[in-house]
Amino acid sequence: MPVPQHVFDPPFNIVRSSHVVLDVVDLNKSVEFYDNIIGLHVEDRDDTTAYLRGSEEHQHHSVVLRKAEQSAAARLGFKVGSEADLDKAGSWFAEHGVLYSFVDRPFQGRTLHVTDPFGFRLEFYATMDKRPHLLRRYERYKGCHPQRLDHFNVFAAETQDTIDFYARLGFRLTEYAEEDGDGGRIAAAWMHRKGNVHDFAITNGKGPRLHHFAYWVPGPLNIIHLCDVMASRGLALERGPGRHGISNAFFLYVRDPDGHRIELYCSDYQTMDHDHEPLRWSLRDPRRQTLWGAPAPRSWFEQGSPFPGQEVREPVFVADVVIAD
């Protein structure tokens, strides 16, 4: 299937993936998990909403937890280059039949809300309140020392169309998994704006759903420590620790109290060269999932966080992936 070409003059300038807004049923329990186990820093909270960030983030939040009746992935947040880019984004979405609205969000400047044609609920903003970063405040380090939100990974029912849509918005392909043979379909794509492996990964599956969001941590020992902390708390690990073939990430995946999946990872690589070429993986290559050869569990392929009000659709095709059973 077609591999999208790099677009260097997108209709508006998306800088990077920025923050995720999660609906959670027990706010105290969720804050306790992200604060004391994962090690994010609570920047503000009240009875209904909590805002957290990693230690190197200058901005006010990279996770927003909202008390809700049902768990959900409420919004995926992207930073754009300027206020003018927000207006360009609104115009572009309108031209392409996508409704948009400007909303007020605490601690953020003007914020644009859209639901893309595939059901992913997004928000774009140019400015957010600043805070002194905590990178050298080692006395405040906790958990696995998460430093910055790096990317989102979503389940998309219409994988190729979703990849093509985001390519038009300037997301550049770095790695992809494809069926073998003539006419092999792309089952997953890793796409970036900021110059590493990805800001947004698109995975074939029942969608739209959020598969996971990821924080960068300093090294593998931080991840091993989190494994020990989780075990000491009687909490299960979903997948890892391990080394992905794709992206070269040393990874761990855990689930929060609502089942939202969070990845902690380190050691991917730079991709900002204009002539950086995407790396193809066979869908059946076990080193793709885990360089060391262990396949991912069934929950990995089947479970994700829905977006509020968005019907989850069956994928256009079922990818023949290797599953650990």
Contacting residues toward Fe ion, per CB under 5 A: 153, 214, 263
Q: What does the H/E/C string look like for the chain?
A: CCCCCCCCCCCCCEEEEEEEEEEECCHHHHHHHHHHHHCCEEEEECCCEEEEECCCCCECCCEEEEECCCCEEEEEEEEECCHHHHHHHHHHHHHCCCCEEEECCCCECCEEEEECCCCCEEEEECCECECCCCCCCHHHCCCCCCCEEEEEEEEECCHHHHHHHHHHCCCEEEEEEECCCCCCCEEEEEEECCCCCCCEEEEECCECEEEEEEEECCCHHHHHHHHHHHHHCCCCCCEEEEECCHHHCEEEEEECCCCCEEEEEECCCCCCCCCCCCEEEECCCHHHHCCCCCCEEHHHHHCCEECCCCCCECCCCCCCCCEEC
Q: Give the shortest CB-263-to-Fe ion separation in angstroms.
A: 4
Task: Pick between residue 57 and residue 85 the one whose CB is nearest to Fe ion.
Answer: 57
Q: Give the shortest CB-20-to-Fe ion separation in angstroms.
A: 13
Q: Give the shortest CB-310-to-Fe ion separation in angstroms.
A: 21
Task: Pick between residue 16 and residue 60 the one whose CB is nearest to Fe ion.
Answer: 16
Task: Pick between residue 116 and residue 263 the one whose CB is nearest to Fe ion.
Answer: 263
Greatest CA span in the chain, whole angstroms?
56
Q: Give the shortest CB-45-to-Fe ion separation in angstroms.
A: 26
Nearest to 202 by CA among 238, 161, 169: 161
Q: Give the shortest CB-24-to-Fe ion separation in angstroms.
A: 21
Task: Pick between residue 100 and residue 152 the one whose CB is nearest to Fe ion.
Answer: 152
Q: Give the shortest CB-281-to-Fe ion separation in angstroms.
A: 15
Distance, in Å, from the CA atom of 270 to the CA atom of 283, rounded to the nearest integer, reads 23
Task: Pick between residue 116 and residue 175 the one whose CB is nearest to Fe ion.
Answer: 175
Q: Give the shortest CB-27-to-Fe ion separation in angstroms.
A: 25
Task: Pick between residue 158 and residue 263 the one whose CB is nearest to Fe ion.
Answer: 263
Q: Give the shortest CB-212-to-Fe ion separation in angstroms.
A: 6
For residue 224, the tally of other CB atoms under 10 A from its CB is 14
Task: Pick between residue 134 and residue 214 the one whose CB is nearest to Fe ion.
Answer: 214
Task: Pick between residue 213 and residue 307 the one whose CB is nearest to Fe ion.
Answer: 213
Name the residue whose CB lies closest to Fe ion.
Answer: 214
